[in-house]
């Protein structure tokens, strides 16, 4: 086989930051400065090209427009590379990974997001191992030349996850990410051990199709005992609101208040898509298990099953941008597009 080729896309994040002595905060440095800390890249038996956001961003500033920029970089150079690595801040990495998984339909090459909790210039940085292994995974091919992991993934602290299953779980531990409802796709120790039974295979003969349209008229509503009727009414009546990710209790339960069920039913009838996601990070919504869940189902609320909030929000944003009517959005929300929910 030829030498593998990987495109490294630098968007920003802690991995490429340094302390600003004047303010004491971490600030992004340019890509050349970051590459100076990585002489290891020259020792790879892989051709690595690079491309960078200018200026790099803290991922709190990520937007659908920037997701589109990343996707278009991948689309334009798709044929030239075996895989792609995206250096990204950890704060919104799971949102970007989820969004890209829905944008890149028929993906047959690895797109691996990684970053770090400590800047690459610090002695104890986790950035080097994360980046070096992410590049190896992006370049990894099977005997027939096809990609070993043809998915959008997050690689962090020795584990490779399906991107749209991840959540940032820690602000300070190296184990920054977790996939609470789906097992890792690979684990890195002395060797990188892949779990092919968990990895999606692309449908043969389909070309990459990139979806760019997002509609941000979505809110996340997190329930708690004592949720105010006045506030809920105002929320449901927001002009232009098209979808609500409702974070419920346990297996998808909400207070059986008449006003709440009435508001939900009326919003559904107006075409607002309401998706039920549990506040528990592990497990699935099962609206038929208890009465409070069943009432939601009867009010027109959809089950988000075991989806993460990040995945439900970005999937809704993309479907609202791409579909012609709420019925179509509801229908596709009930399917798994790229392994984001379990059936
Ligand atoms: N604020 C940073 C970012 O998300 C945090 C990080 O990269 O870990 O860009």
> Pick the catalytic residue: 14, 90, 114, 166?
14
Ligand 1 nearest atom to the CA of residue 15, by list position: 7
How close is the Cα of 220 to the center of ligand 1, in Å? 22
Ligand 1 lined by 126 (C-beta under 6 Å): no
Q: How many residues does the chain have?
A: 343
Q: What does the CA dihedral 138, 82, 12, 124 come to, rounded to 10 degrees?
A: 30
Structure tokens at 173: 């531990």
Q: Are 211 and 105 in contact (CB under 8 A)?
A: yes
Q: What is the DSSP letter of 341?
A: S
Ligand 1 lined by 25 (C-beta under 6 Å): no
Ligand 1 lined by 94 (C-beta under 6 Å): no
How close is the Cα of 294 to the center of ligand 1, in Å? 40
How close is the Cα of 235 to the center of ligand 1, in Å? 30
Which pLDDT does position 41 carry in this prediction? 86
How close is the Cα of 109 to the center of ligand 1, in Å? 26
d(CA 69, CA 311): 19
Which pLDDT does position 144 carry in this prediction? 94
Ligand 1 lined by 253 (C-beta under 6 Å): no
Ligand 1 lined by 16 (C-beta under 6 Å): no
Q: Which residues of the chain, if any, have pLDDT below 70?
A: none
Which pLDDT does position 21 carry in this prediction? 87
Distances (CA, A) of 197 to 108, 133, 149, 184, 200: 16, 21, 11, 11, 8
Residue 90 is among the residues annotated as catalytic for this protein: no
What are the pLDDT digits (tens) for 30-86? 888 888 888 988 888 999 999 999 999 999 999 999 999 999 999 999 999 999 999
Q: Which segments of the chain does DSSP mark as H helices, in order?
A: 31-36, 64-77, 93-103, 127-139, 229-236, 258-269, 291-298, 309-322, 326-333
Which pLDDT does position 339 carry in this prediction? 98
């Amino acid at each position: 086989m030829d030498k593998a080729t990987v495109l490294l896309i630098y968007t920003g994040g802690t991995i490429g930051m340094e302390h600003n002595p004047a303010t004491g905060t971490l600030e992004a440095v340019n890509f050349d400065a970051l590459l100076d800390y990585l002489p290891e890249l020259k020792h790879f038996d892989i051709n690595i090209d690079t491309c960078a956001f200018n200026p790099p961003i803290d991922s709190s500033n990520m937007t659908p427009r920037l997701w589109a920029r990343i996707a278009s970089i991948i689309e334009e150079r798709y044929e030239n590379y075996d895989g792609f690595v995206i250096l990204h801040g950890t704060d919104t990495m799971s949102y970007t990974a989820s969004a890209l998984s829905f944008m890149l339909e028929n993906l047959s090459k690895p797109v691996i997001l990684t970053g770090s909790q400590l800047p690459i210039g610090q002695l104890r940085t986790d950035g080097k191992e994360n980046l070096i292994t992410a590049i190896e995974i992006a370049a990894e091919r099977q005997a027939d030349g096809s990609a070993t992991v043809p998915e959008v993934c997050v690689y962090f602290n020795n584990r490779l996850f399906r991107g749209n299953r991840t959540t940032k779980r820690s602000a300070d531990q190296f184990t920054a990410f977790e996939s609470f409802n789906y097992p890792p796709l690979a684990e890195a120790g002395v060797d990188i051990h892949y779990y092919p039974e968990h990895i999606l295979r692309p449908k043969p003969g389909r070309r990459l199709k990139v979806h760019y349209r997002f509609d941000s008229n979505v809110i996340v509503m997190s329930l708690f005992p004592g949720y105010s009727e006045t506030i809920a009414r105002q929320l449901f009546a927001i002009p232009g609101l098209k979808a609500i990710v409702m974070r419920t209790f346990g297996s998808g339960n909400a207070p059986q208040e008449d006003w709440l069920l009435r508001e939900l039913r009326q919003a559904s009838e107006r075409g607002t898509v309401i998706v039920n996601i549990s506040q528990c990070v592990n497990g699935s919504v099962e609206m038929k298990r208890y009465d409070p869940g069943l009432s939601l189902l009867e009010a027109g609320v959809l089950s988000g099953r075991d989806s993460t909030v990040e995945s439900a929000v970005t999937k809704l944003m993309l479907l609202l941008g791409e579909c012609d009517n709420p019925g179509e959005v509801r229908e596709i929300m009930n399917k798994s597009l790229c392994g984001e929910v379990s059936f």
